[in-house]
């Protein structure tokens, strides 16, 4: 399954589709991780603490802006190979998630992250967008893996149909498999070959 997924990712998607898929996956993972870390900080669990410099809290949207600025610099001044590197797509998705997670703060210009109006709209809206985006971006890969699995299932004979040379064959008991050409059309190996 992993090998098939990698092959589909490489063979079934063009460079833009691979970048879109990686960006959405990074967005979703980062959004979930940031939400988990901020809840842990608020409840005082785990090793995480707020980051402050000179008494000022550094919001995580700042890191997102820095990441998007780096992606923008690569897009403007980088070579084609640099722009198409998977790290650029991953950085874009992660940076965007860091910004969007604090969108309510940026919109109201006050810290409403834990207020009802700041949390519910961001959680539901972005969580839904991230889930749907991940699904639609991964759809070509899912289709290719499904096609490969179906092809592999059709290639392998059902148990008991291929007893080996000289053994009894139950093959002719299958409906429509009384003749070699019928079996071949159905994708089933004939039980014998004519001399």
In a domain, 183, yes or no: no
Query: Does the residue 83 lie in any domain?
Result: yes
98 within domain boundaries: yes
- Please check whether residue 179 lies inside any domain of the structure: no
Residue 143 lies in a domain: yes
Q: Per the domain annotation, does 37 fall within a domain? A: yes
Beta carbons of 28 and 136 less than 8 angstroms apart: no
Is 178 inside any structural domain?
A: no
Domain encompassing residue 121: 14-155
Q: Which residue in 101, 29, 32, 40 sits closest to 65, CA to CA? A: 101
Do residues 180 and 190 lie in contact, with contact meaning Cβ atoms separated by under 8 Å? yes
Q: How far apart are CA 95 and CA 70, in angstroms?
A: 10
- The structure's pTM equals 0.64
pLDDT per 10-residue tile (average), the chain, 195 residues: 85 84 91 90 89 87 95 95 94 92 77 72 72 83 87 73 52 48 49 46
Overall number of domains in the chain: 1
């Amino acid at each position: 399954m992993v090998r098939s997924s990698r092959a589909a990712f490489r063979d079934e998607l063009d460079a833009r589709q691979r970048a879109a898929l990686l960006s959405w996956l990074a967005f979703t993972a980062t959004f979930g991780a940031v939400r988990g870390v901020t809840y842990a900080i608020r409840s005082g669990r785990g090793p995480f603490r707020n980051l402050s410099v000179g008494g000022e809290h550094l919001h995580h949207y700042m890191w997102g802006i820095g990441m998007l600025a780096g992606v923008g610099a690569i897009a403007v001044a980088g070579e084609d190979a640099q722009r198409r590197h998977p790290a650029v797509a991953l950085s874009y998705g992660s940076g965007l998630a860091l910004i969007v997670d604090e969108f309510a703060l940026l919109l109201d210009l006050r810290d409403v992250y834990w207020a009802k109006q700041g949390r519910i709209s961001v959680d539901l809206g972005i969580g839904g967008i991230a889930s749907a985006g991940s699904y639609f971006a991964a759809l070509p890969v899912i289709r290719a893996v499904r096609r490969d699995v179906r092809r592999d299932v059709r290639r392998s004979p059902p148990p008991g149909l291929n007893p080996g040379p000289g053994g009894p064959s139950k093959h002719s008991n299958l409906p429509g498999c009384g003749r070699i050409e019928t079996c071949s059309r159905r994708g089933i190996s004939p039980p014998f070959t004519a001399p």
